Amino acid sequence: MDFDLDETRRDLRDLAAEVLAREAAADRLAAFETTGAPYPADLWAALASAGLLGVVVPEDAGGAGLGPVELTVLLREVGRAVAPVPAYASLALGALPLAAHGTPAQRELLAGVATGERVLTGAWREPGPVGAVTATARRDGDGFVLDGVKTFVPFAVEAHRILVAARVEGEGVGVFLVEPADVAVVPHPAATTDPLSRLDLAGARVGADALVGGAADGAAWAALRRSALLGAVAQASGVIDGALTLTSDHVKGREQFGRALAQFQAVTMSIGDVYIAKRALDVAVWAAAWQLEQGHPEADETLAVAAFNASDPVVRALYTCQHLHGGIGLDVTYPLHRYFAWAKHAGHLLGGADDQLDALGSLVAQEA
């Protein structure tokens, strides 16, 4: 397996890095955090203008029609810049699964995603283990009645549609396109500045045309779950990369007892631990992205490995980065706090290390 990006993907990565370095600089992020806006509109517009928001949007909807690897390239750069934009919500939770499984009429909702005019999101998490679906959808006349609770829904208020997973009685798990106004949207505490919500479906009614792909056969749900996991670990991979760069620069330039911190053996070993956590996650993330693109049967196992690394070793590595910064590591006027918050959020979103180990164990047991 070759993890080197080809020329096209390197160009995509470099373009994303260039736009984000310019538009998501630390001073701009600090200014944005005082506005109370859900996301920086100028940064979102810059990503759209560069063609980055259309990476997984089908060509007939104005995008490039690319897949999981390109999504990973983009979201990893978003994480590296800790850019508070709805790229994960709109692309990983919305565009990619809808493009793969939506009917022609449903795919028309993707118009405007590439230009940044339309935001999508997904409700794939519930209280309890990651991947569990207890929300229900009951057929009623020419539509469905939805019940249940969804958590960790990003940019729900701002979204044009929310992809909601629910179990259809007597069938399987389906994904439904729901308008935010049709459900109770309650603010959800978040480690980051991203608006996060809890959805109370509470008997919300949707039409028959809201069922993605027209069938509750689990296919759309599998695509949404995998895309959600891949997007989350891709961003976490960028977060630890950005935090490692910031910390390495700090210990090289900070002196103690007349020597740079980087010259102390204990500091070098600690930086090494952070690097190992980063590389372990990187390998799993790129392997998962490639496997999803190829339809490889072990993709779910690799995603669980990546999610474990993002939930535990990477979070602990961010504590190390804070420790190596000393007091300023805890200062919210210093950029490291954003990386720490994003890493903690990823750990919460992914259910924690034990949850992912349970998921991995179940997958391995199924093959035995």
Q: Residue 344 pLDDT more than 70? A: yes
pLDDT tens by residue, 177-202: 999 999 999 998 899 999 999 999 99
Structure token digits, residue 230: 């891949």
pLDDT tens by residue, 88-120: 999 999 999 999 999 999 999 999 999 999 999
> Would you say 12 and 74 are in contact if contact means Cβ atoms under 8 Å apart?
yes
May I ask the CATH architecture of the domain 220-367?
Answer: Up-down Bundle (1.20)
Mean pLDDT of all residues in 135-162: 97
Whole-number pLDDT of residue 106? 97
Q: What whole-number distance in Å separates Cα of residue 68 and Cα of residue 71?
A: 5
Whole-number pLDDT of residue 327? 81
pLDDT tens by residue, 201-228: 999 999 999 999 999 999 999 999 999 9
Structure token digits, residue 124: 């794939």
Whole-number pLDDT of residue 338? 96
- Give the confidence band of 261 by pLDDT, cuts at 50, 70, 90: confident
Whole-number pLDDT of residue 200? 97
76-94 in b/e burial notation, b at 16+ Cβ within 10 A? Answer: bbbbbbbbbbbbbbbbbbb
> With pLDDT > 90 as the criterion, what percentage of the chain qualifies?
88
pTM > 0.85: yes or no: yes
Whole-number pLDDT of residue 368? 66
Q: What whole-number distance in Å separates Cα of residue 64 and Cα of residue 34?
A: 34
- Which residue's entry shows tokens 């990003």? 154
Whole-number pLDDT of residue 330? 80
Question: Does the domain formed by 7-118 have CATH 1.10.150.530?
Answer: no
Whole-number pLDDT of residue 332? 85
- Give the confidence band of 1 by pLDDT, cuts at 50, 70, 90: low
Whole-number pLDDT of residue 255? 74
Could you state, in order of their start, the residue ranges of all structural domains in the chain?
7-118, 121-216, 220-367
Q: How far apart are the first and last CA of the chain?
A: 25
185-221 in b/e burial notation, b at 16+ Cβ within 10 A? Answer: beebebbbbbbbbbbebeebebeeebbbbbebebbbb
Q: Residue 138 pLDDT more than 60? A: yes
Tell me the fold of 121-216. Butyryl-CoA Dehydrogenase, subunit A; domain 2 (2.40.110)
> Would you say 216 and 174 are in contact if contact means Cβ atoms under 8 Å apart?
yes
Whole-number pLDDT of residue 176? 98
Q: DSSP letter at 211?
A: B
Lowest mean pLDDT among 238-247, 329-338, 345-354: 329-338
